[in-house]
Amino acid sequence: MKACEFLDAKTISTGSYELILDGRVAASIFSVMLSQAVSADAVQKGRSPLAGKIGCKLLSEDVTFVDDGTVPGYVGSRPCDDEGIPVRRNVLFDRGVLETYLYDTYTANKENRRSTGNAYRSTGGSTAPLPNNLILNPGDYTLEEMIRDTSKGVYALKTIGGWLSNPVSGFLNATVTHGYLISNGSIVGRVKGAVISGDFYQLMNVKVVGLSKELHESMNSYSPHVKFEKVQLSSK
């Protein structure tokens, strides 16, 4: 993608669109919204919307998130966490159902559990549990198939403003800076300034309609392209 390609990008009319998030965009959003939410430290301090929801179906059945620090070559892979506990594969959401939080030794002891191998030590010396590699399992689609099956939509290549999201409440906010407008299965223009906002968990529960076959990376978060139906986008 070249910056000059988007010099003629236009804003869109506020309305309901099919939305395809580029894998890198999706991975970045998932890192912001879930890294703290699945941490037992945040749960125990009342700063996670997932508190008390183990065993509840919160996301689409198509959605399985894992934390896996054992994948060779991934950014967050390592033999042991910062307390010397071997890392492992932890299933966070299995077909939409919340299965576990992530623990270090301190948070695990508070619940008479074992550490999941997710301790990260801060510069001040204290530890907190965070994902090693946060991974959304891929699906069966190609990006081309996702676009071809879209009647009226936006393919978001880049976003900004993720810092305006609130992982404690589950509120998502991001603005598309580089995107493509899709009409009847074809890219027909370039768009900018489309605002994605709302309840992250509702979006991931009832709106997901497709995941691509390949994974894309944003730091230690990995995601396929993700397609949603009937997402309300507003013009900035």
* pLDDT tens per residue across span 134-159: 999 999 999 999 999 999 999 999 99
Q: Determine the 3-state secondary structure of 62 from DSSP.
A: coil
**Residue bearing tokens 């991931």:** 204
pLDDT at 1 (0 to 100): 58
Express each pLDDT in 65-97 by its tens digit.
Answer: 999 999 999 999 999 999 999 999 999 999 999
CA–CA dist 214, 230 (Å, integer): 24
For the cut 60, the answer to whether the pLDDT of residue 3 exceeds it is: no
Beta bridge partners of 171: 166, 199
Residues 182-199: pLDDT tens digits? 999 999 999 999 999 999
Total residues belonging to the chain = 236
pLDDT at 2 over 60: no
Q: What pLDDT is recorded for position 7?
A: 66
Contact present, 105 and 119 (Cβ < 8 Å): yes
CB 174 within 8 Å of CB 29: yes
What are the residues whose beta carbons fall under 8 Å from the beta carbon of 76, sequence distance 6 or more?
Answer: 69, 131, 132, 133, 220
**pLDDT-based confidence at residue 4 (cuts at 50, 70, 90):** low
pLDDT score at 124: 81
pLDDT of residue 235: 85
Q: Which pLDDT score is estimated for 23?
A: 98
Give mean pLDDT, residues 52-73: 98
pLDDT surpasses 80 at 207:
yes
List, for residues 108-138, the tens digit of each pLDDT value: 999 999 999 999 998 888 999 999 999 999 9
Average pLDDT over the chain, rounded to an integer: 96
∠ at Cα 161 (61, 130), nearest 5°? 55
> What's the predicted TM-score (pTM) here?
0.95
Secondary structure of residue 179 in the 3-state scheme: strand
Does position 162 have pLDDT exceeding 90, yes or no?
no
Cα separation of 133 and 53, whole Å? Answer: 22
The SS3 of residue 51 is coil
pLDDT of residue 26: 98
The residue extents of the domains of the chain are 3-32+139-235
DSSP annotation of 3 reads G
Measured distance between the N- and C-terminal CA atoms of the chain, rounded to whole angstroms: 23
Tokens of residue 146, six digits: 């996702």
State how beta strands 15-21 and 152-160 pair.
parallel
